[in-house]
Structure 1
Amino acid sequence: MQKRTKKFAIASSLILLSAIVLSACGSTSTKTATSTAGTTTATVKSDKIYIPVISKGFQHQFWQAVKQGAEKAAKEFNVEITFEGPETETQVDKQIEMLQAALGKKPAAIAFAALDSKAASPLLEKAKAGKIPIIGFDSGVDSDIPVTTAATDNKAAAALAADKMASLIGNEGEIALVVHDQTSRTGVDRRDGFVNQIKAKYPNIKIVDTQYSGDPLKATDLSKAIIQAHPNIKGIFGSNEGAAIGVINGITESKKDGKIVVIGFDSGKQQMDAIRSGKMAGAITQDPIGIGYWSVKAAVQAIKGETVPKNIDTGFHWYDKTNIDAADIKPLLYE
């Protein structure tokens, strides 16, 4: 009786162990992604290539358009992605935590738009050592580690913005810049592209101030301060959606609507409304859906060992009241 009981216990244990093993083999892994609504959980099947896409934020509609493009590529190439980013584009530490967590999940590749390339450097070196390809997008990464970067040529785009500003103020006068940050590649390149073009081509235009905003509220306050300090200012360039919206609000609150030329960057409903109403002269639009699409497509190519160009230029265009509804511009704008 005792032997039979012992045999039954052993058999039961073996059945239970087999069930656990089979259950583990059929399980899925869970990835956590941050969205505008907070933190959401996405279930990712273990039999698919996993690529986390880490953006600079979720604050602006630009990132939702990038997400749309990334999801389009994920579906086309049958891979799983999570799209995440800090709530605002000033939260460098939070983005670094997201990159650290992504590395811990041992992904096949990572698409990354750095808020601060220097801060991200140790983790990027870790990815390189682990043979995890890094794909830069939008701001990219100021490093040789990324296999490629899918982005706008921000210096050339900002130079076009400078040309438009110069033309609209009669090639002379005082102007200023409100730049979204001074640590990301986009912030640096848009600032330098604009400033260098003005200095090279327009000797009678004086840049009296360059400020760094981080978010629309701060951009509003900075714009008001610039206007107060420089009452003869003729134009202000806002280097992204948030900066441009802040400039518009600062001018309105200073009761200077129609008296200061505003050039923006990116799109979004508030900028589009401002262009239609005449509060903003025009802006540079990128192709955010293309940026997201190419970040995932390039990751898939890198994982497969295919040759990927070092830079993928996703293009840019000027739009204003005259062409905002044109067939070649409208698909690039987002609300």
Structure 2
Amino acid sequence: MPNFIPAPDAGRTASVGRSDRVFAGCGTGAQRPPHRATRLAALALAGTLLLGGCAGAGERASRANGRMDIAVVAKGYASPFWATTKAGAMAAGRDLGVDVTFNGPDTESDVVRQVDQLNLAYAMKPNALVVAALDESASVVALRQFQGKGIPVVAFDSGVPGSNIPETTVSTDNYGSAREAAKHMVELAGGKGELAVLGTSTTSVTGRERRDGFVDYIKENAPEMKIVAIEYNESDQAKAEGQASAILQAHPNLVGMFATDDDGAVAAGQTVARSGKKVIVVGYDSGKVQQDMIRSGQIAGAVTQNPYQMGYRAVVEAVKAAGGEKLPKEIDSGFAWYDAKNMDDPQIREALYD
């Protein structure tokens, strides 16, 4: 059964204003229509926050057009995942009648560029910041600027461990979702054999939690299975293909390979297909190529996040924080297992991205 968390409902506001604007050098991208499930609560928020709930937001609440300004800095910009996240964030801006700026580096390895973008966002004096930190350690100094000026920070996709800066973190339960992937791997492989993990990064809490969720489940529930290799590819598909190929050569008895992101899943599926070996590939996320490979059987299935909902909810929570509302420390944006059998179910389809 899908484990998606129901989204707050929202109603469209009449005025769009600058809610699609972005920082210099970035296009607006295609927009999805707001999900029906995200509309009612946002309408209520628009009334309370924009008509009088912004007390305590200070001078930042005063804009030429009288609207709040929410800055979003993501881990990336052009990839399908972040494009879908952006669509959700922009839809929330339209629904709530606030201005949303969306930015992110070209690649998820460009930590320096993201820190520059955080500094640029700070210079714009937004009412709140939404951030998906590529490297929590490198981001802390930039984020403390916002905290020092009383600008609330909402984290999404991954948090900032050991820091009290984010008011809340809107994210997938990365540890729990990876355990779901491991459960299916055990079922598909019959609970026996050698496994490998293609991870993304050791510096991102997201990557570490997905790795640990999978590995811990196998250790706890599959005594006849063993993790024989873990590699990290920094979301570089070419690098992941090289790693997958080396793993297949070094471990001829391998029965399964789990990838913690879309690039790794595609790389694993393509490498296994070229090798002609019968190795089960389980992925994460849901880009178009990975979806096609699941339909064709090259990948057995994957766990999908709900990036549209993640972006939407992060902006909703940022508006609440800018209005002085206390937020829960963690908000789960949901996940679900999908394969060729269920990927056309409506609840799954709305979370898949192309």
Structure 1's 221 and 201: CA in aligned 2 closer, same or farther, altered over 3 A? same
In structure 2, distance between residues paired with 1:72 and 1:117: 27
SS of residue in 1 equivalent to 2:350: helix
Q: Deviations over 1:222-254 (max 9, x none)?
A: 111111111111111110111111111222333
* 2:225 aligned residue: 205
Structure 1's 280 and 86: CA in aligned 2 closer, same or farther, altered over 3 A? same
After TM superposition, the score normalised by the length of structure 2 is: 0.81
1:64 paired with 2:60, answer no
* 1:272 aligned residue: 291
In structure 2, distance between residues paired with 1:231 and 1:45: 65
In structure 2, distance between residues paired with 1:70 and 1:294: 8
* 1:309 aligned residue: 328
Structure 1's 31 and 262: CA in aligned 2 closer, same or farther, altered over 3 A? closer
Which of 218, 239, 242 aligns to 1:218? It is 239
* 2:270 aligned residue: 249
- Residues 152 and 167 in structure 2, CA contact (< 8 A), matched pair in contact too: yes
Q: Which amino acid aligns with 1:65?
A: T
Identity of aligned residues (%): 43
Which of 8, 18, 23 aligns to 1:32? It is 23
In structure 2, distance between residues paired with 1:159 and 1:221: 26
Q: CA deviation at 1:52?
A: 1.2
Q: Which amino acid aligns with 1:47?
A: G
- Residues 22 and 103 in structure 2, CA contact (< 8 A), matched pair in contact too: no
In structure 2, distance between residues paired with 1:153 and 1:34: 32
Specify the structure having the higher radius of gyration (Cα): 1
- Residues 75 and 132 in structure 2, CA contact (< 8 A), matched pair in contact too: yes
1:167 paired with 2:187, answer yes
* 1:182 aligned residue: 202
SS of residue in 2 equivalent to 1:47: coil
Structure 2 portions without partners, runs of 5+: 1-20, 30-62
In structure 2, distance between residues paired with 1:175 and 1:34: 42
SS of residue in 2 equivalent to 1:306: coil
In structure 2, distance between residues paired with 1:240 and 1:262: 12
Q: How many aligned residue pairs are there?
A: 299
* 2:34 aligned residue: none
Query: Considering only aligned residues, what root-mean-square deviation do their CA atoms show, in Å?
Result: 1.8
- Residues 182 and 212 in structure 1, CA contact (< 8 A), matched pair in contact too: yes
* 2:257 aligned residue: 236
In structure 2, distance between residues paired with 1:181 and 1:309: 27
Structure 1 portions without partners, runs of 5+: 1-29, 39-43
- Residues 198 and 240 in structure 2, CA contact (< 8 A), matched pair in contact too: yes
After TM superposition, the score normalised by the length of structure 1 is: 0.86
Q: Counterparts in 2 of 1:1-335, with a 5 A limit? A: 32-35=23-26, 47-142=66-161, 143-214=163-234, 215-256=236-277, 259-335=278-354
Structure 1's 104 and 64: CA in aligned 2 closer, same or farther, altered over 3 A? same
